[in-house]
Amino acid sequence: MNRPVERTLRALGLAEAPREHPLLYPGAWPAGSGILDGDHFLPPERLVYDDRTPVLAIGSNGSPGQLRHKMREFGISTPLPMVRARVTGVDAGVSAHVSRMGYVSASPIAAPDAVRALFVLWLDAEQLAVIDASEGAPVPGGNFDRAWLPAPDVRIDLADGTRLPGAYAYVNRHGVLHDGTGAPRIHPGQRELLTELLVALPRLRELFGVVPEEFCARARADRRLCERGTRLFAEEKLVTACGLERYAAASARGQQSGSPGTGPSLSPPLT
């Protein structure tokens, strides 16, 4: 099959993976729906894939470059549909943990009045297992739980008028950072976030340096340092609930309503 050159991730500005360039987090998102197929982002065949599991992309999972990086790590090359949706009830907060990828990631928060353009990833069993592993969902010490967010609590509207019955999202087990008033803060992008945190927290500067570049370089692959940074967020009383914990608990009990089945687990977790 010949794929047009102009549909390559490089040509579309979608090739860079935040795992390789942490300050680019959450990475470049497509302008519209499509299918990630190797190094290409192709026009969508349809918007709903009933034989796949829908997962909301809150942070870098909306970046084709990041998804390609994750899939290649496990040798997965099957096409992956990414469908742009109008989502009401969820926003992108700030995870209360430091990732070994060198960044502080986004995490979903309950936001009843928020309306966001987000991507729904339609994942087959192998792809779902890869994303689960990358979020640490299969293991007790991982950073995220995969939780089913049902309609009408969360509204997911597609361009053709379809409203989904719900979708999965990855809820942070550590909580999220608040904005100083106790409300979850919104993720502003990696460089801005790290700059603000390093200015505000002397103890964080002691661990990770004074500028975002130092933070990323020190955090990458240093598990113990990342764990210390995560504890520091809690010690500085910066952590609050995301508002979605009840969905994670329901999913853990197998009580999610309307949710599809899950795929096999992979290990180890990668963040």
For the purposes of burial, counting CB atoms within 10 Å of the CB of 190, is it exposed (0-12), middle (13-18) or buried (19 or more)? buried
Q: Per-residue pLDDT tens for 218-244? A: 999 799 999 999 999 999 999 999 999
d(CA 129, CA 255): 20
Domain assignment present for residue 134? The answer is yes
d(CA 52, CA 248): 20
Read off the CATH number of the domain in which 97 is found: 3.10.490.10
Domain assignment present for residue 264? The answer is no
Residue 214 token pair: 């130092």
d(CA 63, CA 24): 10
d(CA 260, CA 8): 32
Domain assignment present for residue 258? The answer is no
Please give the residue range of the domain that contains residue 201: 5-252
- pTM of the predicted model over 0.85: yes
**Dihedral sign computed on CA atoms, order 124, 129, 135, 138:** positive
φ/ψ of 147, rounded to 5, equals -120, 145
pLDDT profile of the chain (271 residues), mean per 10: 79 96 97 96 95 96 97 95 98 96 96 96 97 91 93 97 97 94 95 97 97 97 94 97 92 57 44 44
Domain assignment present for residue 262? The answer is no
Determine the pLDDT at residue 249.
86
Domain assignment present for residue 266? The answer is no
Determine the pLDDT at residue 263.
46
φ/ψ of 43, rounded to 5, equals -60, 145
Determine the pLDDT at residue 141.
83
Domain assignment present for residue 268? The answer is no
Enumerate residues 6+ apart whose C-beta is below 8 A from 14.
28, 29, 30, 41, 63, 64, 65
Number of domains in the chain: 1
Q: What is the largest CA-CA distance in the chain?
A: 55
Determine the pLDDT at residue 138.
87
Domain assignment present for residue 261? The answer is no
Domain assignment present for residue 267? The answer is no
Determine the pLDDT at residue 56.
98
Determine the pLDDT at residue 261.
47
